[in-house]
Structure formats: C-alpha cells, structure tokens
Amino acid sequence: MTMAATMEKRADTIARFLVTTDWAGADQRPLSGDASTRRYMRLVKNGSSALLMDAPPKAESAACPPDAGEAERLKLGYNAVARLAGPDSRRFAAFAETLISLGLRAPRIYAADFGEGLLVIEDLGDDLFARAIEGGARELPLYEAAIDVLGALHAAPAPRALGRNATEVALLAYDRLAYKAEVDLAIEWLFPLLEGRPLPADARAEWDAHWGAALARLSEVSRVIVLRDYHAENLFWLPEDRGLARVGLIDFQDGLKGSPAYDLVSLVEDARRDVSPTLADAMIARYIAAARARDGRFDADAFRAEAALLGAQRNSKILGIFARLWKRDGKPGYLKLLPRVWRYVERDLRNPQLAELRRWFDTHFSADLRTAPEAR
C-alpha cells in the first residue's frame, strides 16, 4: 500500500471514529509533532475544543506484556525491553485516570477506540512551560509548582495497576534491563556517528561492567510513579487554576514504577532548554525539604547520589536517541541539542560514585567529540 493510500485509509478510520463521538463534524487542525509516531489534531466545534490523539497500533513495535520475562522482552524488541507503551493507547487513558484520581491535572478522556489507537482528550491549551516562560512568565514559580506536583505524586507508593475497569493496566517496574537498554543507545547510535566505526569490543565490555555496577546501587525501597518525560515541553501552565491544578500533564503513557529522583532529573536537566545549575539546585533542595517534611528519615545524600546516577543514565539515553533520530529518521534538528545534553552528563558524572563511568566517558567520548556533529 502506498503512503498516500495508507494516509487516506487512516483518515477514513478517524472519520468513522469521530462520528461516534460528540466531535463529529469538528474542524480538524493538525498540531506540530514530536519524536514519537503519535500525532495530535485540535478539534474545534461550537466554540469548544478537544484533542484527537492518533496512535496507530502498528506504527511501533509491541509494548511489554506485564508478565514477560527478560528473554521474551529481548525477542519482542526495544519497546518491550525498555518498557515503553508503544502503540498502546489504553495505557495513556489508564495513566490519565490515575493522575486525576490523585488530584493532578491530566487530560480527561472524552472518547476512545483502543483497538484503533484513537482518543479524544481534553485540550489543555498551548501554554507549555517552555512557551509560557518565553512569553514572559516567571521561570521560578513554574518550576516550583512542577516540583510540588512531584511531591504530591510521590507522597504514596506506586499502585499495582493504573486506571480502572476497562482501562486498567499493570504498572510495570523501571528495572535494570530497561535502564541498560536505554544507555546502550549512546554507544549503538552516537559513538558510530561521531567515530565512523562501532565501539570496540573491549570498550563495550567495560561499558557493560561500569553501568552494571552503577545500576546495581539503585535503591529498591522507595518506588513511586515515574512519568518518565517530565519537562518543560510536556507541562502546561494553567495559572487560572489553583494549587497543583496549575500544572497540566501530558505524554505520560510510558510511565513506570521507579525512583523518585527520575522525574526530578528530567525536569532540571531538560534537553530542550537551558536550566541553570542555580535553578536546578534550588528545585532539588525544594523537593528534599518537602520529602523530609513527609518523612523525617528521608536520606538527602542518598537521594542526590541517585539523582546523579539517573541523570547520567537518562542523558546518555537522550544522546543516543537524538543521534538515532538523525541517522535513522532523517531529523538532523536534534543534533543541535547534543552540547546541552553533554553538559548535563558532565555535571552528573562529577558525583564520586560515578568515577569509573566518568573515566570511561573521558576516554571514549573525548572533549572534542562533545559538540553537535555539524559544528565539527
């Protein structure tokens, strides 16, 4: 089937779905996309709006079955190994229901066809944090509000499952297999891009050993809901609302059960915009103060060490993803973001517990390689 025929068939599927909803006949206005296969359209009808989320079921590899072991996940491919939602729109709906039940501001689900990967969801507007700040909003109160949302989200242990009834799905763990598959993107995509050759076998063995030792130190005690992509391009500023509801949440379908440090790192080490070390330190301190108020036994030093590890892990993954988006998907615009991500990696690797990893990076990703490839 040609691309044009595929697009026409999908348009017919969307039209049949919308006829069954309150949004039949709505004006459809495409919104700019992201790095995923999902796309969004704003539906406008009678002065009201909603969003159509189009996540074609066959556009990505399979998601991870709840009871899959490591061997099965490896056979299913990257989405299963890294425990990504893949084409599973049910997981988005279940996550939204759970977040709303916790008093947070996720989009309400108006209509769904999970088999076709189609949802009509609440429209939270256009004021993403990044746009609001560029438009003149003060950065500090927005980030403080985002930290307070994380505190509320982490106030209780992660639930066994998300959603309820027809949308209920298991909440899987962010395990070491997923973490390791993600960091490996850096050596599978970025290293060959920079060096023009695969990583040598002995360097790969050292990489595996250092990351294995580092990830083994992750605590299993405090497991919370991790939204996984918690940053200024996925948070809406809704100042007309009150308290936690001022922060609108989106793009959480890949969320897992994991460390409370992960989303904090995602926020203050944002690949798409500069977050100053001063602001980052203040937000970490704000989170720690709230955590200590909830639990006097909260170990701030251990939390900071885990944040550094997960920052290095997350940013290594992002380096690989951005290289893959260029090399495989023909999206060179992501390359200009690499120097910022490198700065975050360097900051994270200053933690004494990551000394072996820092030496590995200094040996195999030397300073002259830590620029956007087109700038070298």
Here the CATH number for the domain that contains residue 365 is 3.90.1200.10
- Of the CA atoms within 13 Å of residue 33, those in its CB half-sphere come to 8
Residue 110 CB coordination number (10 Å) = 17
- In sequence order, the β-bridge partners of residue 224 are 258
Under 8 Å between Cβ of 83 and 176: no
Taking only Cα atoms into account, the Rg of the chain, rounded to an integer number of angstroms, comes to 21
Residue 252 CB coordination number (10 Å) = 24
Look at the alpha carbons of 338, 225, 259, 160 in this order and tell me if their dihedral is positive or negative: negative
| Sequential pLDDT tens for the chain (376 residues) | 676 777 889 999 999 999 999 999 999 999 976 656 789 999 999 999 999 999 888 766 667 778 888 999 988 889 889 998 877 899 999 999 999 999 999 999 999 999 999 999 999 999 999 999 999 999 999 999 999 999 999 998 899 999 987 778 999 999 999 999 999 999 999 999 999 999 999 999 999 999 999 999 998 767 999 999 999 999 999 999 999 999 999 999 999 999 999 999 999 999 999 999 999 999 999 999 999 999 999 999 999 999 999 999 999 999 999 999 999 999 999 999 999 999 999 999 999 999 999 999 999 998 877 876 765 5
Residue 49 falls in which region: left (phi positive, over 0), alpha (psi -120 to 50) or beta: beta
Please choose, from the candidates 158, 154, 152, 153, the residue with its C-alpha nearest in 3D space to the C-alpha of residue 171: 158
Q: How many domains does the chain have?
A: 1
Instruction: For residue 36, count CB atoms less than 10 angstroms from its CB and return exposed for 0-12, middle for 13-18, buried for 19 or more.
Output: middle
Domain that holds residue 304: 3-375
Please choose, from the candidates 373, 30, 364, the residue with its C-alpha nearest in 3D space to the C-alpha of residue 198: 364
Residue 33 CB coordination number (10 Å) = 10
Strands 48-54 and 39-45: antiparallel
pLDDT tens-digit profile of 180-204? 999 999 999 999 999 999 999 999 9
Under 8 Å between Cβ of 300 and 284: no
